[in-house]
Amino acid sequence: MFAGYNQAQWVAAQRYDDEDWPALVQLWRSYNLHLAHVIAHIPDATLKQARTRHTLDAIAWQPVSAGEPATLEYLVNDYMGHLKDHLKQVFDQAQT
């Protein structure tokens, strides 16, 4: 289980604003391609298994109540939604 994190502190600690933008994009791309590879190989039964103990109330982009069962499939889809939101932010910023 993972505790939640303070996004602003995490970003500040890693000093993303001082990083070369193309390097960050390549890191993000490579990391997410690897995650896609891992996700593609998760057995369906594992993805769909309901878990009563989770931390999606603290770590998910769209939280799930701690008292409500959740699945790994939910976490994967939640992460995809989070990625799409970031891409929208990037493309919206590029148009301004």
pLDDT in tens, the chain (96 residues): 456 667 788 889 999 889 999 999 999 999 999 999 999 999 999 999 999 999 999 899 999 999 999 999 999 999 999 999 989 988 888 887
Instruction: Specify the amino acid at residue 37.
Output: H
- Residue 27 domain flag: yes
Which pLDDT value is given to residue 3? 63
3 state SS for 12-77: HHHCHHHCCHHHHHHHHHHHHHHHHHHHHCCCHHHHHCCECCCCHHHHCCCCCCCCCCECHHHHHH
Length of the chain: 96
Which pLDDT value is given to residue 4? 63
Which pLDDT value is given to residue 74? 98
Tell me which residue range forms the domain holding 56: 7-94
- Residue 2 domain flag: no
Task: Quote the number of domains for the chain.
Answer: 1
- Residue 1 domain flag: no
- Residue 84 domain flag: yes
- Residue 90 domain flag: yes
Angle at 80 between CA 38 and CA 49, to 5 degrees: 60
CA separation for the pair 47, 45 (Å, rounded)? 5
- Residue 89 domain flag: yes
